[in-house]
Structure 1
Amino acid sequence: MLDSLFAGGRMADLALAALLVETLVSLWLARRLGRGPGVAAILCNAGAGAGLLLALRAALTGAGAAMVAAGLVFALVAHLGEVVLRWRRRDG
């Protein structure tokens, strides 16, 4: 059973669903409590995770190197966006 979850990419789908729930809860908590990371930081963090999970899914399903690379590049861009936000917050 576990092998089929990985072979078909379903494990990555489950992780993406969990990431979506985590992102929505984080956004709700940040808004409700008025503290914590900002919306942009939460979305950049989620985007980096989503990019890595999409690359994993592409690799598990044999989608090809270009799709794996696209997921990794997306994750890198989102990660760099979060790094920029952190540096700006620290300088301010």
Structure 2
Amino acid sequence: MLDSLFAGGRMADLALAALLLETLVSLWLGRRLGRGPGVAAILFNAGAGAGLLLALRAALTGAGPAMVAGGLILALAAHLGEVVLRWRRRDG
């Protein structure tokens, strides 16, 4: 059973669903409590995680190197966006 979860990419799908739930809860809590990371930081962080999980799913399902690279590039772009936010906050 565990083998089929990984071989079919379902484990990555479950992790993506958990990431989506975490992102929505984080956005809701931030809005409700008026503190915590900003919306952009949460979305960039989630985007980086989603990119890595999409790359994992592509690798597990044999989607090919271009799909794996696409997920990794998405993760890198989102990570760099979050780094820029942190640097701007530090300079401000």
Q: TM over 0.5, yes or no?
A: yes
TM (norm. structure 1) is 0.99
For residues 83 and 31 of structure 1, the distance between their equivalents in structure 2, rounded to whole angstroms, comes to 22
For residues 88 and 29 of structure 1, the distance between their equivalents in structure 2, rounded to whole angstroms, comes to 23
How many Å apart are 1:90 and its aligned residue?
1.0
Superposed CA RMSD in Å reads: 0.3
Unaligned runs of 5+ in 1: none
For residues 14 and 8 of structure 1, the distance between their equivalents in structure 2, rounded to whole angstroms, comes to 12
How many Å apart are 1:8 and its aligned residue?
0.1
SS in 1 for 2:51: helix
State the 4+ residue runs in structure 1 displaced beyond 3 angstroms.
none
SS in 2 for 1:42: helix
Cα deviation, 1:7-43, whole Å, max 9, x if unaligned, reads 0000000000000000000000110111110000000
For residues 30 and 88 of structure 2, the distance between their equivalents in structure 1, rounded to whole angstroms, comes to 19
TM (norm. structure 2) is 0.99
Query: % of aligned pairs identical?
Result: 91
For residues 31 and 89 of structure 1, the distance between their equivalents in structure 2, rounded to whole angstroms, comes to 19
Unaligned runs of 5+ in 2: none
